[in-house]
Amino acid sequence: MHFRLSLLMFLIFSIMGAWVPVLSPFLSQLGFTPRESAWIFASSALGAICGPVVWGQVADRWLAAEKCVSLCCLVSGVSLWLAAASARPLTVFWSCLAFWMFMIPAMSVSASLTFRHLANPDKEYGRVRVWGTIGWVAIGWGLHEWFRLRSADITGLLDWADALRLGAGCAGLTAVYAWTLPHTPPLPRTERAAVAANWLTTALEAPLAALHLFRDRSFAVLCASLFVVYLLFTFTAQLTPLLLRRHAGVTDAWLPSVLTLAQSTEIATLASLPILLVRLGQKGTMVVGLTAWILALTVFSVGAPRSLVIGSLALHGIFISCFVVAGQLYVNRLARADLRASAQGLMQLINGLGLLTGHFLVGWLRDRVGEDYPRAFVPGAVLGGLLLIVFSVGFRGTRR
């Protein structure tokens, strides 16, 4: 079972690892303006807002989780292939929006499916989830080798659309593999709460029930923190590749592999996450992750020296493991068994609202700072410091 779930994580994260880190160079290659690029980046936020709530209800109430994952990955692959074939901003935007409308639910439902089949998620999930990071790294290095071979040919020109085509192929493979996963139907009605009274509340029964989690103070603080965290995440998504190319001298052929430095520490931290949760507690572990994130933003806001800028990418992996993944585990413990897909989807919705706000903010900043990318990171570093204070005061969490 661990092998089958680990392979799911490997495949589903390879879809995004193939092209998300190099989306900025792809859009620059097409000659898109910062404002047009901001809209395309914001498609992930719009997908996170709309998709997970619907698919959380589907997976919790109507359709087996593995079938949800397969369908979502199939549509995502087709959408990504269409985006790679287009050079018009509007077409790329709609293709990316379709991708995220199905890809983000595929991720949240995959997490819920994995939790269902683990006897002790707190101890076992890290060992399974780490293979998602390995998949992200492996596909990034594969893309690096492809670009290295292309740069050695007669033209020496790189086509960043190849990254999107690679991601589309990974999505198709994941859609096929999902049919081999253990059957994970919705829980029987006897294991759920009372059925809603009318057709509208019945159609959204699970997501509406998940809203009751906001009665828990720590959950509310976590969701507010995730909004700000994903707002800040847009700074690295849009600006880090551009910063590395212009200020750190990273060549296009090496860019995909250099960006995988973030996943190197993520692998090690995920492996030790159960120990960290026991030793530091839920809150302490998440504070460590948030602190690492703010340090990285601070280094990017300075933009020098080159070795420190590249090395600080490793802090991103600590943030993902200790804050984002630890937060998923916390919500999985907090939510009822029949609401866990919807609870994970609710977190994705909050993340999407942060991404939507952040991508437009970064687009506005890029218009004003031009190619002075370190200056654009300064507001993010300041906001991150304020977030660390609020989270440390407001979040209680648990020690298991």
pLDDT value at residue 11? 92
For the chain, report the end-to-end CA distance as a whole number of angstroms: 24
pLDDT value at residue 93? 93
- Residue 337: inside a domain, yes or no? yes
Angle of helix 121-151 relative to helix 89-116, nearest 10 degrees, comes to 150
The CATH number for 75's domain is 1.20.1250.20
- Residue 59: inside a domain, yes or no? yes
pLDDT value at residue 2? 84
The token duo for 255 is 């860019």
The token duo for 60 is 């919790």
Place of tokens 């661990």: 2
H helices present in the chain, as ranges: 2-17, 23-29, 34-57, 65-84, 89-116, 121-151, 161-177, 199-203, 205-210, 217-246, 255-258, 261-302, 306-311, 314-319, 326-334, 340-369, 373-394
The token duo for 345 is 């989807």
- Residue 194: inside a domain, yes or no? no
pLDDT value at residue 32? 86
The CA distance from 78 to 185, in Å, is: 26
Contact present, 21 and 140 (Cβ < 8 Å):
yes
Q: What domain range includes position 124?
A: 2-182+202-394
pLDDT value at residue 288? 93
pLDDT value at residue 197? 47
pLDDT value at residue 386? 92
Angle of helix 34-57 relative to helix 340-369, nearest 10 degrees, comes to 170
- Residue 189: inside a domain, yes or no? no
The token duo for 175 is 């859609």
Q: Which residues contact 251 (CB under 8 A, 6 or more apart)?
A: 245
Q: Mind listing the pLDDT tens digit for each residue in 77-102? A: 999 999 988 888 899 999 999 998 88
From first to last of its 400 residues, the chain has per-residue pLDDT tens of: 888 899 999 999 999 888 888 888 888 888 888 888 888 888 887 877 776 666 555 555 667 778 888 988 999 999 999 998 888 889 999 999 999 888 888 887 888 788 888 888 777 887 888 888 888 888 888 887 777 776 655 445 667 888 889 999 999 999 999 999 888 776 655 444 444 444 344 445 555 666 777 788 888 898 889 899 888 888 887 788 888 877 777 777 677 777 777 777 888 888 888 888 888 888 999 999 999 989 988 988 888 788 888 888 888 889 888 898 888 888 878 777 666 667 767 777 788 788 888 888 888 888 887 778 888 888 888 998 999 999 999 898 664 4
- Residue 119: inside a domain, yes or no? yes
- Mean per-residue pLDDT over the chain, rounded: 80
Nearest alpha-carbon partner for 233 in 276, 273, 289:
289
Neighbouring C-beta atoms of residue 270, cutoff 10 Å? 26
- Identify residue 349 by its one-letter amino acid code: L
Split into its structural domains, the chain has a count of: 1
- Residue 188: inside a domain, yes or no? no
- Residue 67: inside a domain, yes or no? yes
- Residue 353: inside a domain, yes or no? yes
Q: Which residues contact 126 (CB under 8 A, 6 or more apart)?
A: 270, 271, 272, 273, 274, 321, 325
